[in-house]
Amino acid sequence: MKQSFGRDRQGRQASLYTLENNSVIMKTTDHGATLVSLTDKKTGIDVVHGFSSCEEYENQDFYIGATIGRTANRIEKGIFHLNGKEYHIPVNNNGNANHGGINGFNRRMFTAEEGTDYTAFVYESPDGEEGYPGRMTLIVTYRLLSEGIAIHYHASSDADTLFAPTCHSYFNLDESEDAMNHRIRIHSDRYGLSDANGLTLDEIVPVEGTPFDFRSFKPAGQDINKPDEQLKYGAGYDHFYPVEGSSIRLMAEAEGKKLHLSMYSDLPGMHFYTSNWLDGIKGKKGHSYKRRSAVCFEAEFMPNAVNYPERQQPVLYKGRPADYEIQYLIGLK
């Protein structure tokens, strides 16, 4: 089902697409190929932050529910080299380029195609957009699963470029104002250190004995105020966890009062972010989205990997399309 969702800054009409099955109701918009709501039908709980119009999405910089690209998270100083050439992405975060530049995919209008159990969004990113080489075509497909949703990214380009997508949904499994009592489990025994600007360094260290150890379920907020330089740099958790393996696999879980969420992906790892910069902005259904009101499980390539040659490279080669998937499964605890 397609409904009007207001207009973007350029006056273009946005739409809201609704799909449902026995377990969930999913709403997405073509503005930023964004997940607007994901409601569990057994409890009626909408587990993601979101807004009720395109205008409200345009008036915030938190990337709530958006498709992120071409590169999720930071590129140091916005500079990278590919095939011997230097490229510059506009910097927008403490001197680094975050989430695709100033006008990333989150601000783009996609073209939608509705199927019986999916909504697909297509975007043609022109050569040189936000400094990236190559004309790239991206298809983001949101598909209903028997207990949740899958988001599939299919990208191709007419020249070598970077592609490292993620879904920037903010989850609160209780529709409450504080997600720090959610119990979290992350399927990784290592995490990436950041510098004081939130840039992931090329240093992956064991979680053992640190507040970053989520190998067994523990409340998100249990250790968040511990004296720890890394927590200080992120103003909370804002860190990359590599996850062993390469096929679709369980990366992270969260438990609220009634619901359980699990995130699967075939991307190299995930960013755990405790919504440290939300400022009380008004969202849908009268909610206000305060600091720490949500947790984000952003499946992704290692941030700044393009500048760390030993890490898996987020390169999309000419003539070799790339496919990635993120699944969010929801069920009763």
51 touches ligand BGC (CB under 6 A): no
Instruction: Establish whether 168 is a catalytic residue.
Output: yes
Minimum Å gap between C-beta 146 and ligand BGC is 29
Q: What binding mask, one character per residue, do residues 15-44 give for ligand BGC by CB under 6 A, x or -?
A: ------------------------------
Answer whether 224's CB lies under 8 Å from 211's CB: yes
76 touches ligand BGC (CB under 6 A): no
Closest residue by Cα to residue 132 from 110, 109, 161, 105:
161
SS3 76: helix
Length of the chain: 333
Minimum Å gap between C-beta 306 and ligand BGC is 16
62 touches ligand BGC (CB under 6 A): yes
170 touches ligand BGC (CB under 6 A): no
Minimum Å gap between C-beta 292 and ligand BGC is 13
198 touches ligand BGC (CB under 6 A): yes
Residue of 5, 51, 57, 63 interacting with ligand BGC (CB under 6 A): 63
A 10 A CB-CB count for 235 gives 14
Minimum Å gap between C-beta 99 and ligand BGC is 6
298 touches ligand BGC (CB under 6 A): yes
| Identified catalytic residue from 168, 239, 271, 287 | 168
Answer whether 208's CB lies under 8 Å from 189's CB: yes
Instruction: Establish whether 310 is a catalytic residue.
Output: no
| Identified catalytic residue from 76, 298, 300, 325 | 298
Query: How far, CA to CA in Å, does 98 sit from each of 58, 101, 105, 226, 229?
Result: 17, 6, 12, 27, 22
73 touches ligand BGC (CB under 6 A): yes
Closest residue by Cα to residue 219 from 175, 176, 171, 254:
254
Q: Please, what sign has the CA dihedral across residues 304, 140, 168, 191?
A: negative
Tokens representing 238 are 């804002």
Buried b (16+ CB within 10 A) or exposed e, 5-29: bbbbeeeeebbbbebebebbbbbbb
DSSP 8-class letter at 71: B
6 touches ligand BGC (CB under 6 A): no
* Closer Cβ to ligand BGC, 273 or 324, answer by number: 273
> Which strands form 322-332's sheet, in the order they lie side by side?
111-114, 118-125, 136-145, 148-157, 322-332, 259-265, 249-255, 183-186, 218-219
DSSP 8-class letter at 277: T
Minimum Å gap between C-beta 276 and ligand BGC is 7
238 touches ligand BGC (CB under 6 A): yes
* Closer Cβ to ligand BGC, 120 or 167, answer by number: 167
* Closer Cβ to ligand BGC, 5 or 62, answer by number: 62
Site for ligand BGC in 257-276 (CB under 6 A): 271, 273
Task: Describe the chain by its helix, strand, coil percentages, rounded to 5.
Answer: 10, 45, 45
Minimum Å gap between C-beta 63 and ligand BGC is 5
191 touches ligand BGC (CB under 6 A): no
The residues carrying an active-site annotation are 168, 298
Interface with ligand BGC by CB under 6 A: which residues?
Answer: 62-63, 73, 99, 198, 238, 271, 273, 277, 298
